[in-house]
Structure 1
Amino acid sequence: MKKNIGLWMMLLIGTSISAQAQKAVKEFENWPKGTSPAEIGKRVADRFIVTPHTNFGRPTPPKVITYAETCAWYGALKFAKESNSNELLWQLAKRFEPFFGEKASMIPVPDHVDYCVFGTVPLELYKQTKEKRYLEMGQSIADKQWGPPEGKRVVPESHVFYSKGLTWQTRMWIDDMFMINALQTQAYRATGEKKYLDRAAKEMVVYLDSLQKTNGLFYHAPDVPFFWGRGNGWMAAGMTEILTALPKNHPERTRILKGYETMMASLLKYQTNSGMWRQLIDVPASWEESSGTAMFAYAMVTGVKNGWLSQKTYAPAARKAWLALVSKIDANAEVSDVCEGTNKKNDLQYYLDRKRITGDMHGQAPILWTAAAFLQ
């Protein structure tokens, strides 16, 4: 790793403290031994550091970095910041260094929402180190996402969405609302340029108006009438990401906050006695799934600490979810009962039959987001 002066200076003086004040929550303290967010976050982050680049559970190495690994990397960086761990930040930066050289080909081409989310990692590295090469990489990806349609993934609908001021990568899957919002919100945080926040907010409102049902939850896509757990988790986390950045006077904040509050109220009704949520949220016969549960916990913890949600109502639910999730983490700091990667399909049995995986980055990622949120 090159001993870049900017990075080393930041490592010496420490990571910055969050600019946004967070209130203390009694339910988020006094954890049973071995279950605290600080302990769990460190274990899962340390496991990420030594895990080779993953390919959705396949034995062959990936040709490019997958979105699941990206989201875990982003989570580990957030945890490094909130735990004030210079060592973890250095390790995560070291893992990224080859992308400026021999592993540059592993940077995903920014022609799909799942590929563009990679930009959140260099943008977070920039925020914590102020190295401009990270900003240049991440901002370029964010701008490409809103550029004119190009490449092999362009379909007729791409031009329609682009003409409406949305990203041409819009596809109306709820997964998109984390991938798009996380990237554009990160670009705003890194640059202070309002256009990135406006892009994300406009896109989120379109998805809310198009996909949120009267019960507050979301079908996986307009033609897939099932409330898939992780898909709804992506939406919950995406709203959480943008709400932490939207000023109170932003014209889209009220609409997004309403969608978020409606979803959180619905989720309370479906939380199981164990503290988990199910693979299909509203289907009692469906199995309890970890990645969606962790995403909902992240959304609730952040909501309580920012005052968007009632502490009395939501803090106990978030705590219960966290303790349930900790029980799913094995001796290797890998999360069990994680739904495998899932495309949309109008088939109930397809969702019920998805494999349960241990150690999949879809599960590791939101555990890290939630641990960081508890510490913030």
Structure 2
Amino acid sequence: MKKTIILLLAAIVLGGTVQAQKAGNEKLFKDSYIKKTMKMALDWQLEHPKHELYDWTNGAFYAGVFAAYETTGSKKIWKAMYEMGEANEWKPGPRLHHADDHVICQTYIDMYRVSGEEKMIEPFIATMDEFMKTPYKGDGIREKTWWWCDALFMAPPAFVKLGMTLDDDKYLKLSDELWEETYDLLWDKEHHLYARDMGYKWNEPGIEEKKEANGKKIFWSRGNGWVMGGLVRVLSELPKDYPNRDFYIQNYKEMAAKILSLQQEDGLWRSSLLDPESYPGGEASGSGFYCYALAWGINNGILDKATYLPAVEKAWVGLNGLIQPDGHVGWCQPIGADPRKNFEAESWEVYGTGAFLLAGSEVIKLD
């Protein structure tokens, strides 16, 4: 009860602040402006490629690209995705059990649903057949298949999308099993956040204690953003009567409430969720995924609109403030596993653009 009252009071205070802020930023919420800004960020990113096209970084980017295609209907965007798929021969990455190498297949499946071209999903089906008959071999440290929280954005949506597309629940059950393994390994029941991996959990035998400057646990913003993005992408696929759906709903709602409480005054989240003072700049990738995930929850009737809409609006204003004059999404933390990286207006990564595009694709649906 106390927690509910605190959240409601926070929402009321935030709501007043946001309405004042939004009054001077009405254009940011117009459909035409959202589409224009998404296209500008996307065009810049396509002109500045980075990493192998099947890489996890591009998997996250192209998830946003497909969302931009759905939002705008642009044939240019479809062409860019198709060229990516052809260049990859519609294959996942080379590592069989590694979640990062499956994320690009989310886009292949989404495109298959539009075009019906079998070549877009056949390599992933073959990979999954091999995955399911080949036991995962741990290395003594990483005994679980998905031992890092980022994995929950990378692989589960691809597995679930494939299962729903083929009407075969074996892929859904596999995703359930592996997600729950990761949950048991990394979920923090006190803070309702995921540790990045076992190296960031406290009180574990043989693990050196890591903490922030303020003495609190290290919870990485983008890592938890990956998880929230993964949750909504799984939930958007699962049937309402799916037996394990309530597990994902509960996990999502708990994370959403915690993330709401950690939003900063500029509408963004810091790279360290529990020690924002040590990392004063708003970070694009984590903030983009939170804006996307919370907006999705409102649009799908899972999150209370009165409580969460002010936070989403404030986040969207903040994210637009990260767009640089040339169109790139700045203030994006470089590749890493924790908050300990410096970044600035010129700092960009393809997944930062992907998160921004995903956010825009849901903000535009808000009433």
Shorter-chain TM range is 0.7 to 0.9
Structure 2 residue identity aligned to 1:200: S
- Kindly indicate whether the alpha-carbon contact (under 8 Å) linking 2:235 and 2:245 is maintained by their aligned counterparts in 1: yes
Q: Distance in 1 between matches of 2:248 and 2:311?
A: 22
> Deviation at 1:253?
1.2
Indicate how the Cα distance of structure 1 residues 110 and 143 shifts in structure 2: closer, same or farther if over 3 A, else same: farther
- What residue in structure 2 maps to residue 70 of structure 1? 59
Q: Distance in 1 between matches of 2:220 and 2:46?
A: 30
Is it true that 1:129 corresponds to 2:115 in the alignment? yes
- What residue in structure 2 maps to residue 205 of structure 1? 180
- What residue in structure 1 maps to residue 138 of structure 2? 155
Q: Distance in 2 between matches of 1:207 and 1:262?
A: 16
After superposition, the C-alpha distances for 1:122-170 in whole angstroms (9 at most, x for unaligned) are 22221221111002123334444434147xxx43469965xxxxxxxx2
Identity of aligned residues (%): 22
- Kindly indicate whether the alpha-carbon contact (under 8 Å) linking 1:109 and 1:115 is maintained by their aligned counterparts in 2: yes
Is it true that 1:256 corresponds to 2:248 in the alignment? yes
Q: Distance in 2 between matches of 1:185 and 1:157?
A: 29
- Secondary structure class of the residue paired with 2:155: helix
- Kindly indicate whether the alpha-carbon contact (under 8 Å) linking 2:92 and 2:123 is maintained by their aligned counterparts in 1: no
* TM-score, length-scaled by structure 1: 0.77
Q: Distance in 1 between matches of 2:45 and 2:237?
A: 27
- What residue in structure 1 maps to residue 295 of structure 2? 301
Indicate how the Cα distance of structure 1 residues 124 and 144 shifts in structure 2: closer, same or farther if over 3 A, else same: farther
> Deviation at 1:326?
0.7
Unaligned runs of 5+ in 2: 1-18, 202-217
Q: How does 1:75-90 map to 2 (within 5 A)?
A: 75-90=64-79
Q: How does 1:171-320 map to 2 (within 5 A)?
A: 171-213=146-188, 214-225=190-201, 226-285=218-277, 286-287=279-280, 288-320=282-314
Indicate how the Cα distance of structure 1 residues 46 and 190 shifts in structure 2: closer, same or farther if over 3 A, else same: farther
- Kindly indicate whether the alpha-carbon contact (under 8 Å) linking 1:74 and 1:121 is maintained by their aligned counterparts in 2: yes
- Kindly indicate whether the alpha-carbon contact (under 8 Å) linking 1:116 and 1:142 is maintained by their aligned counterparts in 2: no
Q: Distance in 2 between matches of 1:275 and 1:160?
A: 38
Indicate how the Cα distance of structure 1 residues 333 and 145 shifts in structure 2: closer, same or farther if over 3 A, else same: farther
Q: Distance in 2 between matches of 1:264 and 1:297?
A: 10
Structure 1 residue identity aligned to 2:95: P
Unaligned runs of 5+ in 1: 1-26, 56-61, 162-169, 345-350
Give aligned pairs, total. 320
Indicate how the Cα distance of structure 1 residues 144 and 182 shifts in structure 2: closer, same or farther if over 3 A, else same: farther
Q: Distance in 2 between matches of 1:217 and 1:160?
A: 21
Structure 2 residue identity aligned to 1:222: M
Q: How does 1:24-63 map to 2 (within 5 A)?
A: 32-33=26-27, 36-52=33-49, 54-55=50-51, 62=52
Is it true that 1:359 corresponds to 2:342 in the alignment? no
Q: Distance in 2 between matches of 1:337 and 1:324?
A: 11
Structure 2 residue identity aligned to 1:51: H
- What residue in structure 2 maps to residue 3 of structure 1? none
> Deviation at 1:78?
2.0
- Kindly indicate whether the alpha-carbon contact (under 8 Å) linking 2:285 and 2:352 is maintained by their aligned counterparts in 1: yes
Structure 2 residue identity aligned to 1:124: D
Indicate how the Cα distance of structure 1 residues 134 and 156 shifts in structure 2: closer, same or farther if over 3 A, else same: same
* TM-score, length-scaled by structure 2: 0.79
- Kindly indicate whether the alpha-carbon contact (under 8 Å) linking 2:334 and 2:341 is maintained by their aligned counterparts in 1: no
> Deviation at 1:245?
1.4
Structure 2 residue identity aligned to 1:216: H
Q: CA RMSD in A?
A: 2.6
Indicate how the Cα distance of structure 1 residues 127 and 47 shifts in structure 2: closer, same or farther if over 3 A, else same: farther
Indicate how the Cα distance of structure 1 residues 370 and 304 shifts in structure 2: closer, same or farther if over 3 A, else same: same
Q: Distance in 1 between matches of 2:245 and 2:141?
A: 26
- Secondary structure class of the residue paired with 1:278: coil
